[in-house]
Structure 1
Amino acid sequence: MRRIKNWLSTMGQERFSYLSNLCIQRDIANIIDTQVT
């Protein structure tokens, strides 16, 4: 049972870091767009 819980927690951390990376990339793209125009 503990192994499953650890696996779920690591999956959640990977998904959270992936989503946060997407948000950061989108913010950078928005900054570049505002600077270019």
Structure 2
Amino acid sequence: MGTVVLHFSRDTWIFSIKRIYTCYTILYTSGLI
């Protein structure tokens, strides 16, 4: 049970980082243009 929660948290963490990085890239590109 603990391993499943840890694995889920890790996937959520990676997904959140990818989302934040994508949003940041879009904002940076928009500001650059």
* Matched pairs, number: 32
Structure 1, gaps ≥5 residues long:
1-5
- TM-score normalised by the chain length of structure 1: 0.80
| Gap runs ≥5 in structure 2 | none
RMSD: 0.5
Highest Rg: 1 or 2? 1
Moved over 2 A (4+): none
TM-score (norm 2): 0.88
Q: Identity across aligned pairs (percent)?
A: 9
